[in-house]
Chain A
Amino acid sequence: MSKTNVTRRGVLKTGAVAGAGLALPTYLAAGGHSGFANAPGDSSVTLGFNVPQTGPYADEGADELRAYELAVEHLNGGGDGGMLSTFSSQELSGNGILGRKVEYVTGDTQTKPDAARASARSMIEKDGAIMITGGSSSGVAVAVQALCQEAGIIFMAGLTHSNDTTGKDKKANGFRHFFNSYMSGAALAPILAANYGTSRKAYHLTADYNWGYTTEEAVRTSTEAMGWETVAAVKTPLAQTDFSSYVAPVLNSGADVLVLNHYGGNMVNSLTSAVQFGLRTAQANGQDFQIVVPLYSRLMAKGAGANVKGIFGSTNWHWSLPDAGSQAFTRSFGTKYGFPPSQAAHTCYVQTLLYADAVTRAGSFNPCAVGEALEGFQFDGLGNGPTLYRAEDHQCFKDVLVVKGKENPDNEFDLLEIVEVTPAAQVTYDASIFGGELGSCNPGA
């Protein structure tokens, strides 16, 4: 009985042909690369793009997919090359990865851990994908990351913001470029203190699941360190659509700031309720009442419409950033699709490039070699300034953007304005504070 995870394409290329009914098991992997799962053949390599295509995050998933297609185009030498030219590591030359043409398969995570794992397994088992990337929630990221660890495949996380992904659930085969709750809290707190003062009383509404917990924790800790007081923290069901009964008591609670630890539809709905209940215009404790949204995305801002104006939050990246990398990416994305990329698209594009670059520098697709190349890797020119892929937890450390809803947007994509670029040093934390173990890299075979 052979161990699985020998690439299917590789097997075919070695041409182990046998007569009907008579067959030989094959142990051979292709092209001099062996000893790891799904080793690619000589001509092409398959990446797996696992994004939500149905369910509430389908639009975000569609944007991720666009970014992946763009990245593949650039890696294969097509288009204008995007960030390849601004990337500080100039290993990628547009001839695919290690001379192999980049091909890809897509799947639907449905934003459910089960479905996401099924989709990822099918990419690994059926299509011979060497790397899985994508996703729009931390639940999915943690689940797929664990699967990739077991299967011996590299996982490059998409949009996932919970501390857990590179905290208590971190894995040796998993890497995250996106920022996390801790960084949001650390970046936001000084801005909030500067704008709203240090004697504020905060009321938290928190989505009742893992990401909500870590975000509440992060924002609480960092705002309390600035002198804020937390009046209450109420958990709201993830499936809630009408938040009136959670928002209504806020005004009389003695609080003067409402923090919405909500993402996606939750945030759109809770913010809409909050605005309806007059919180934007209210006064409390002799100050203007304020609302804060720790994690922003453009799609959320769009869904909430005019309600986001002037509300502070944080984001991983924004297309209006002036650096060369961001400009190059926004230009090639905008030219191809007619509108600017979202932060989800950006992180997915960057992750694909980082993977390709790591493979090239390592000279091998072996997950352990790739992991080694990514660990401690310092780079620049990908839109977030100088960035470090920390070896201890496989988390990227880079500048964090504090944004607020734009008062007078020029167009439907121009919804957020950058208030502050918080330097990486200010949001860096000790790798051990969230627990968890990386384990050792698993090459699969």
Chain B
Amino acid sequence: MDQFILQILNGLDKGSAYALIALGLTLIFGTLGVVNFAHGALFMLGAFCTVTLSRFLSFEVDTGEVMKTAWGTENPVTEPWIYGTLGEVTGQTVIDWAVPLSILFSIPVMIGIGVLMERGLIKHFYKRPHADQILVTFGLAIVLQEIIKYYFGANQIATPAPAAFVGSFDFGSLIGFDANSIIYPYWRIIYFCFSLVLIAAVFAFLQFTTFGMVVRAGMSDRETVGLLGINIDRRFTIMFGIAAAVAGLAGVMYTPIVSPNYHMGMDFLVISFVVVVVGGMGSLGGAVLAGFILGTLESFASMQFVLERLPGINQIVIYLAAIVILLTRPRGLLGRKGVMED
């Protein structure tokens, strides 16, 4: 039983990651109709916003002393510049809090990248065949990740959560189980809550603001909205920026869970497309729902009890579920008719 509850927690946690990435993708792909293969790269760029900020904060400056290294070279002794500005204790705390701090840092950066991408490139591809969109965004994704690789290397970069969030929360004793039977790391709980808030914010934005209303109208009938004298293009640009920011934030918060490397976007690309399509094209709610369903299924499939009976099921469960759902529900979970069906 405790194992079961643990895997539900895991499922929610994984699901929130999938949902968050799929949410950004579906804003672009499910609604603007652009097949954006660079979405994974946006997720990766978000994670590297954190890396950049933490590198910046802990950028080392010479202290004037020199030390002889064990491999025979003379290296100057260094310390992070921020120690010099804020003192060692405050400086250390700021570095420790690099991940939460980079939320603030990444939002403008990611919106900027998104807007730049849409204005500079994607805009010209709205009317082009999907095949051309795939080629150009895939090319862009490669270029972005190679740039990151050039500066940060291919190895994973450890980006721990602040010390205050290390450790785990004992759910078990809360609901009457033995102590330590169901414990869950604080940071993962934060990730889950953070994604719920972000998802709610995006929904509220689209549902309750005039801007959101116009965008939703534009999605279903771009031409009429244009005829009404509303500049829908500009709004779509802003939507692209928001989608990039959502993807980026998902990446920022994910760094303590999986140490980022330049390739992490590609690893998430396929799964995010599967989630969006299983959720149904053009449906934000579908994408979120599909994210949680697939995340939970993946968690349950990795239980030893299941694996003993169905070896290898953990490798394929997501795809198997996708096939079953798409065969029973023609347009995914909540898909709209006629979106990307031809």
A contacts, CB < 8 Å to B: 54-60, 62, 208, 232, 234-237, 239, 241-242, 244-246, 248-249, 251-253, 265, 268-269, 272-273, 276-278, 281-282, 299, 302-307, 319-320, 330-331, 333-335, 338-340, 411, 413-414
Contact = CB atoms under 8 A, between A and B. Distances in A.
Interface in B285-313: 298-299, 302-304, 307, 311-312
B257 A252 contact: no
B154 A58 contact: yes
Contacts of A413: 71
Interface string B1-43: 0110011011101100100000000000000000000000000
Contact of A268 (B156, B302, B311): B156
Interface size class of B (residues with CB under 8 A): 35 or more
A244 B259 contact: no
Interface in B22-80: 69-73
B32 to A, nearest CB: 28
Given A241-B258, A244-B14, A277-B183, A249 B3 contact: yes
Contact of A269 (B17, B73, B154, B258): B258
B179 to A, nearest CB: 11
Contacts of A319: 70-71
Most central of B11, B70, B264 by chain A CB within 10 Å = B70
Given A272-B258, A303-B259, A334-B71, A252 B2 contact: yes
B154 A57 contact: yes
B156 A236 contact: no
Interface string B253-275: 00011110101100100000000
Contact of A277 (B181, B185, B312): B185
A303 B157 contact: yes
Contact of A244 (B3, B13, B303): B13
Contact of B188 (A236, A276, A331): A276
Contacts of A62: 154
B13 A251 contact: no
Given A245-B14, A335-B72, A411-B69, A303 B158 contact: yes
Given A59-B155, A304-B259, A338-B73, 16 more contacts: A58-B149, A58-B153, A241-B258, A245-B298, A248-B9, A249-B6, A272-B258, A276-B166, A276-B185, A276-B187, A276-B188, A302-B155, A303-B155, A303-B259, A303-B261, A335-B71
B257 A272 contact: yes
A335 B73 contact: yes
B320 to A, nearest CB: 14
Q: Which 9 pairs show the lowest CB-CB distances between chains A and B?
A: A305-B158, A334-B71, A58-B154, A303-B156, A276-B185, A245-B299, A340-B71, A245-B302, A331-B72
A282 B170 CA distance: 12
Given A278-B183, A411-B69, A239 B3 contact: no
Contacts of A58: 149, 153-154
Contacts of A237: 314-315
B304 A234 contact: yes
Nearest to A234: B304
B168 interface: yes
17 contacts: A57-B154, A59-B154, A208-B312, A234-B302, A235-B314, A241-B258, A242-B17, A244-B13, A244-B257, A244-B299, A245-B303, A299-B155, A304-B259, A305-B158, A334-B72, A334-B73, A338-B73
B303 A249 contact: yes
Interface of B: 2-3, 6-7, 9-11, 13-14, 17, 69-73, 149, 153-158, 160, 166-168, 180-181, 183-185, 187-188, 256-259, 261, 263-264, 267, 298-299, 302-304, 307, 311-312, 314-315
A304 to B, nearest CB: 6
Contacts of A306: 158, 160
A245 B72 contact: no
Contacts of B154: 54-59, 62
Given A235-B307, A306-B158, A248 B10 contact: yes
B167 A334 contact: no
A55 B156 contact: no
Contacts of A59: 153-155
Given A236-B314, A241-B267, A305 B259 contact: yes
A282 B168 CA distance: 11
A278 B304 contact: no
A245 B341 CA distance: 35
Most central of B69, B180, B312 by chain A CB within 10 Å = B69
A58 B149 CA distance: 9
B307 A234 contact: yes
Contacts of A245: 7, 10-11, 14, 298-299, 302-303
Contacts of B13: 244
A162 B190 CA distance: 39
A406 to B, nearest CB: 13
B169 to A, nearest CB: 10
A349 to B, nearest CB: 14
A251 B183 contact: yes
Contacts of B264: 241
